[in-house]
Amino acid sequence: MTAAASTSPFRVVHTVCSHDCPDSCAVLVTVDGAGKAVKLQGDPSQPVTQGFLCGKVAKYLDRVYAPQRILFPLRRKTGVAKGALKRGEEHEAFERVSWEEALSAIAVRLQQISDAYGPESILPYSYAGTIGVLGFGSMDRRFFHRLGGSQLNRTICSEAGGVAWNLVYGKKLGTPTEDFRLAKLILAWDAHSRAGRLAYCNQAGHRCSAGTGDDARHPARRPRRSRLH
């Protein structure tokens, strides 16, 4: 380590995107002396994602430190009609409450439902906004198990697709990402590789055009237009 690096107030943290996407892009986060992330970029040394970050994650710090980010429990004010609210005026329909008040209100309501209809009348319904260890498939499972709520395969959309896949093909099969570059032909069937799988495009070694399929090795069948067309 150089003298300049050892005295720098900044440090670079190696991490990985936790969004529910097959790519798991490697990320470099620059953190200042106060512990605040000041820069976020893809890790070019990762052999699969090769420094790529999607538009959503590239702007992640803008959302993390946005002044509009909700940091405390909010409760809809009495008399405010439910439904869509005018953009920019959403905060006017809610009031801040303490964590104790919010958790107590939720606990009381769950207990009332459980007492009246049984704990299995409560159905946990969620999936993977992020797939980190704590945020996905962990504490929430323990909570609903202890509560006695209904048991449900929580991957609702994925599970339905998986059943359909097995009915058609008989078995789920996958291609190692590193093997895409060896393919002579890749057919994208109703898939938008440029929008959602650019890391795979890096490995495939072709242009992965914006869903138009103008690359001879990567024809695409897309019945819908998108913003990238």
CATH assignment at residue 25: 3.30.200.210
Beta-sheet pairing, 188-189 with 220-221: parallel
User: CA quadruple 43, 45, 49, 52: dihedral positive or negative?
Assistant: positive
Last residue of a domain, one of 64, 83, 99: 64
Is there a domain that residue 138 lies in?
no
Q: CA–CA separation, 209 vs 211, rounded Å?
A: 6
- In this structure, which amino acid lies at residue 96? R
Q: Among 16, 31, 64, where does a domain finish?
A: 64
Q: Which residue has the tokens 């906004």?
A: 129
- The verdict on residue 167 lying in a domain is no
In terms of residue numbers, what domain contains 30?
8-64
Q: Model pTM greater than 0.85?
A: no
Domain boundary among 18, 47, 64: 64
Q: Does the pLDDT value for residue 209 go beyond 50?
A: no
Whether residue 20 is contained in a domain is answered as yes
pLDDT over 70 percentage in the chain? 77
Question: What is the distance between the alpha carbons of residues 220 and 34, in angstroms, rounded to a whole number?
Answer: 48
Least confident of 63-77, 102-116, 134-148, 194-208: 194-208
Find all residues with CB under 8 Å of 163, minimum gap 6, and list them.
none
In a domain, 82, yes or no: no
- Provide the domain count of the chain: 2
* pLDDT (average), residues 167-182: 81
Domain-embedded: residue 187: yes
42 assigned to some structural domain: yes
**Does the pLDDT at position 43 exceed 90?**
yes
On the question of pLDDT at 31 being above 80, the answer is yes
In a domain, 91, yes or no: no
Q: What is the pLDDT of residue 4?
A: 54
Does a structural domain hold residue 70? no
